Amino acid sequence: MIRNILSFILLLSILKLINALGEVIYAINAGGETHIDVYGIRYERDPLHDKVGTSSDYGKRLIIGRIPPGDQILYQTERYHHSTFGYEIPLKGDGEYVIVLKFCEVYFNSPKQKVFDVLLNGEIKVVHNLDIFSKVGQGVAHDEYVTFTVEGDTLNFDGQTSIIQDNKITVEFVKGYKDNPKINAIYVIKGRIEDVPKLPLLPRDEDLEGDIDEGSPRRDQAQRPSSTKRKPSGPRTPDPYAEDESSSLLPVFVAIGAALPLLFCLCRL
């Protein structure tokens, strides 16, 4: 009975998120095939297949964090290029829009190895110096949310404007000095940022410490070596009070030597 109730509550939560989702007008699985995610978004096969850049499924060797098992494919496949590349996105009239850019570092295992920018409509920089590993590490999903508005033939982003042609805009991944730009998946909604389902938050050290009982050592204390185990900064100083055991027994031997003649005389009496 309880299990059925919990399942019903979970179903209602998912339905609520799906109903709150804005109108999806574009979705592609970069470097991959068609996929429908847990929110019902249908990602089409990469339109740049065999045209621009390189598609890769190298990420399939990893279990991707922050994402349900069924949707990991969105972060396991990718498209990268040794030069700037991008996608053309259709619009649906005036209003608010959100572009969700999905990334996952599946190759590098340290920061500052892959760094690049993202341009909107060929002239507005919407993501600066993106270093995926620095954001979340390796094998962990990371989404960037780009919000903008459209009025007539003008795109507005954070006070910057750009002219729209043929009711389409572009999103481009700009080649920098640190390896090649890439993208794992993209979708665009006509709606507000509040209408977009977000990835779960990454755990923080404070949260982990809060899970430890008050009687237990703190997490940072447990990781630090005890002061009694610290090595001295130089060679150990000899104990100036340590003496040879033979020198400490010398008075005893002298006393015994003096007492022997006295005992001999007493025995003769």
Q: What DSSP line would sit under 201-225, residue for residue?
A: PPP-HHHHHHTS-TTSPPHHHHHSP
**pTM for the full model?**
0.71
CATH superfamily, region 19-193: Galactose-binding lectin (2.60.120.430)
Rounded distance, CA 260 to CA 82, Å? Answer: 101
Q: What are phi and psi of 248, to 5 degrees?
A: -75, -20
**Phi-psi label, residue 251: left if phi above 0, alpha if psi -120 to 50, beta otherwise:** alpha
Domain ranges of the chain: 19-193
Condensed to tens digits (0 to 9), the pLDDT of residues 134-156 reads 999 999 999 999 999 999 999 99
Give just the sign of the alpha carbon dihedral 159, 165, 166, 171: negative
> Where does the pLDDT of residue 248 fall: very low under 50, low under 70, confident under 90, or very high at 90 and above?
very low
Per-range mean pLDDT, top range of 6-20, 166-180, 238-252: 166-180
Asked whether residue 218 carries a pLDDT value surpassing 60, the answer given is no
Per-range mean pLDDT, top range of 168-172, 223-227, 253-257, 264-268: 168-172
Rounded distance, CA 26 to CA 41, Å? Answer: 9
Rounded distance, CA 70 to CA 64, Å? Answer: 11
Task: From 106, 127, 4, 126, select the one nearest 57 (Cα to Cα).
Answer: 106
CA 228 vs. chain centroid, Å, equals 36
